[in-house]
Structure 1
Amino acid sequence: MKKSCFTVFLLIFVLILTSCGNGMLPEAEEMEHGETSADTFSQIEKDGSFITNTILFPAYKLDNPQGLEYYDQLNSTASFKVTVDFPKNWTIKESKQEETVPIGELYTPVYIYEEEELVGYIGFDIFEPYTEEIEQEQYYQTVYPKLRLSSIAIWDPYTAIKTTDTSETGLVEIEYMDPDEIDQHPGAMPSVPTFKTLGILSYDTKLKVYIGIAFMPDTIEREQVEAIAKTVSLSQAE
């Protein structure tokens, strides 16, 4: 793709975000949902220290009393599975306690725990694959603008870990405003304290979906995130 076309694409998206309201992204814990299927999670022991986890998305139906078209699209997304290796003592739960998690516009999140400590969460979103000519190194920018261009949480810079013809998984650095402080600084967003952490992003252009994993600050080293990212795969549910 020519650079000018790509620039126009990003500018249009930014204008859409701006016109949709105040640009605030929903936090994972604020999303109401219906019942989670008993088949949403499964685990297979891989070796002495890791377990292969399979998670189905959408993990549950989003409640949509206002009849939002985008929620209808999310709820009607064809079921797909995420396979990822986590340490043996990590478990997946459909809900969490009162912990505040890193901000990101990801839907039907489920939560990752090490015993009783929240390690992070994983959620999904949908996208329309960009079809113009573009360098592979730039393609991720067309997939994740909602995460990269937010005013309260920036999921960038991004480093690709593994790439195929239709998918890519990478490590991402996340900086987000303290959700507990945002309302305390009306009209003065730069004064809101921020946190930094790490995460994983993975997309598949055939499935037209992507997932994001956000880890809690100071819970995991970069080398471990890279190792986990190498095990991530997305595929159609059987």
Structure 2
Amino acid sequence: MQPNVLPPTPSSGDDNASVSVADFVSAAMATVSDQISPFSPHELKSKDFELMHHFCTVTADAMSVQREMRHVWRVVIPKEGYRHSFVMHGILAIAATHKASLLPNSRKILPPLDKSFLPLDTWDAIRRLHDFYQAEIPSTSLKHYIETVDMLQDTAKLIAQAGVYVEAGAILAWMYRIGDSILVDIRAHRPHALLVLAYNAVFLSTLEKNFWYSRGWGKQLIEEIEIKLAGEPKCLEIFQWPKQAMIDLFHWL
């Protein structure tokens, strides 16, 4: 049985009536959100970002065959979503439904990489980095590092979905989502933190094909990180993937 959540009927002349009703509505909405949302606030933001990107880069083109109408779905409707929350909820719901229709058997299936600028063994490399952290990072910091690797994989998914038309924001957003503790470790040049930065450098380098202003970012990062990892044999072993990927990428570009 659900508890009775109806607010008390305000008496005539009650100056606090409007405040009481507003408080009730806010509490009720919060309760509903808790019941329907399967994700924590942090996860929900991550999922929202992924779904919005999918909507603008994939779903919009599947909503109409006319170029003008595709523009409406890709540009006009998202703008309305930023103004009105109910429109945004509809956008995210459509994107989620579309993604589910593309991957009906398993939500954990990874998009192929053969039509993107990423190396074909990117998924295996990310998994090895994940396993390395599991074995090497103290339990007090492990959660933050695993979350960072998961966000790295989310970025790779976005790149794979967009193919050669990936936008810079999809890649650069990873840096804005890194937790404070990881940022502290990066600034302190701690080897384990530099590793995940090296992996992201490969992603940064894929921008060079389409965006002139990004040229040299990834290469410079890789060169500086390799210097900082001197004397860290375990980290240097994991570092070989981004280093080799960078060599292959620049040769291909």
Instruction: Decide: shared fold, TM above 0.5.
Output: no
Structure number, greater radius of gyration: 2
Shorter-chain TM band: under 0.3
- Pick the structure with more strand per residue: 1
- TM-score normalised according to structure 1 size: 0.26
More helix by proportion, 1 or 2? Answer: 2
- Give the number of the structure with larger relative contact order, counting CA–CA contacts within 8 Å between residues 6 or more apart: 1
